[in-house]
């Protein structure tokens, strides 16, 4: 496998990141995970915009332009013979780079940018989920960023696995359902589509935004509302969204069956058409 590191493509086994890199030592950085279809990174502009906004939030200057990063993604797909792959995953990681020991920011940071590209498996047809112990903290500055520290999410996913569930559902500090370990949540109540509000506890996902934009065009009312665990298990349907898997229905939460909602399939079909259109426009 080949990677793109700080402007050059190299074999993954030969690429070197400084042992003093703050991304490795402190989780001081951001990342984006993107779906590529037939050599095109889906919603690349939106992902790079989120990365730039996040970098601005943490006081980090992105050392490459969006055009340079877009070209890097395309070159890396070709270098890994993935330009014709129906599904590939691109992971772009940005760190503050190497620095002296301690927490203080380096006076002249030298950011590290790493991009990887691998084949992506088809999304699951459905998922089961379990509500887990780790909570999303709306007061944390990193809660709304695609930040490197993901230990809470890792532990949440492992707890779900121990409960024989495929995905973890995390509550916020007030006890409302926030999101999955790496996905946003939607539920159906009758003909209305609901998703937890963007008030600091969730990462506002790229696919989440696309679904909220698509819904009105299909005659579906979509709203942001607080969702309690009790409200979730009584829902008329539910699904998760992220950039790699798109929309995946939830079939069970904490062992309780969640009905399949036909409107989820309608949204999924519309989303697939949106992906096709986005690829043709690039």
**Same structural domain, 84 and 197:** no
pTM of the model: 0.95
83 Cβ contact partners less than 8 Å away, ≥ 6 residues apart: 38, 39, 74, 77
- φ/ψ region of 47 (left if φ > 0, alpha if ψ in -120 to 50, else beta) reads alpha
Residue with tokens 């696919």: 207
The DSSP 8-state label assigned to residue 269 in this structure reads: H
Q: Which domain holds residue 139?
A: 127-281
Q: 150, 274 in Cβ contact below 8 A?
A: no
* pLDDT in the model for residue 120: 96
Burial of 256 (0-12, 13-18, 19+ CB in 10 A): exposed
Task: Count CB atoms within 10 A of the CB of residue 189.
Answer: 15
Distance, CA of 155 to CA of 29 (rounded, Å): 20
**Same structural domain, 162 and 230:** yes
Q: Evaluate if residue 282 carries a pLDDT over 70.
A: no
How many domains, in total, are found in the chain?
Answer: 2
* pLDDT in the model for residue 279: 65
Please report which confidence band the pLDDT of residue 277 belongs to, taking 50, 70 and 90 as the band edges.
confident
Mean pLDDT of the region 192-213: 96
**Same structural domain, 21 and 107:** yes
Q: What is the CATH number of the domain that holds 58?
A: 3.30.470.10
Average pLDDT, the chain: 96
* pLDDT in the model for residue 169: 98
What is the Rg, in whole angstroms, of the alpha carbon atoms belonging to the chain?
19
Type and span of the H or E element at 191: none
* pLDDT in the model for residue 280: 64
The residue out of 119, 138, 163 marking a domain boundary is 119
């Amino acid at each position: 496998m080949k990677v793109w590191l700080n402007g050059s493509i190299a074999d993954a086994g030969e690429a070197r990141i400084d042992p003093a890199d703050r991304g490795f030592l402190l989780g001081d950085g951001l990342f984006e995970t993107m779906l590529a279809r037939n050599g095109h990174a889906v919603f690349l502009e939106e992902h790079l915009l989120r990365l730039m906004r996040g970098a601005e939030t943490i006081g980090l200057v992105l050392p490459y332009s969006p055009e340079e990063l877009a070209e890097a993604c395309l070159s890396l797909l070709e270098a890994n013979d993935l330009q014709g792959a129906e599904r590939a995953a691109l992971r772009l990681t940005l760190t503050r780079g190497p620095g002296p020991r301690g927490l203080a920011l380096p006076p002249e940071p030298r950011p590290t940018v790493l991009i990887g590209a691998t084949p992506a498996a088809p999304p699951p047809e459905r998922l089961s989920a379990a509500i887990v112990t780790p909570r999303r903290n709306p007061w944390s500055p990193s809660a709304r960023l695609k930040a490197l520290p993901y230990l809470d999410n890792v532990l949440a996913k492992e707890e779900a696995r121990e409960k024989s569930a495929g995905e973890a559902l995390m509550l916020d500090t007030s006890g409302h359902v926030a999101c999955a370990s790496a996905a946003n949540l939607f539920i159906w109540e009758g003909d209305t589509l609901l998703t937890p509000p963007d008030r600091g506890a969730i990462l506002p996902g790229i696919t989440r935004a696309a679904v909220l934009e698509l819904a009105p065009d299909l005659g579906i009312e979509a709203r942001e509302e607080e969702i309690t665990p009790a409200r979730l298990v009584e829902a008329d349907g539910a699904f998760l969204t992220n950039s790699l898997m798109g929309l995946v229905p939830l079939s069970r939460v904490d062992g309780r069956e969640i009905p399949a909602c036909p409107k989820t399939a309608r949204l999924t079909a519309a989303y697939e058409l949106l992906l096709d259109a986005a690829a043709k426009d690039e």
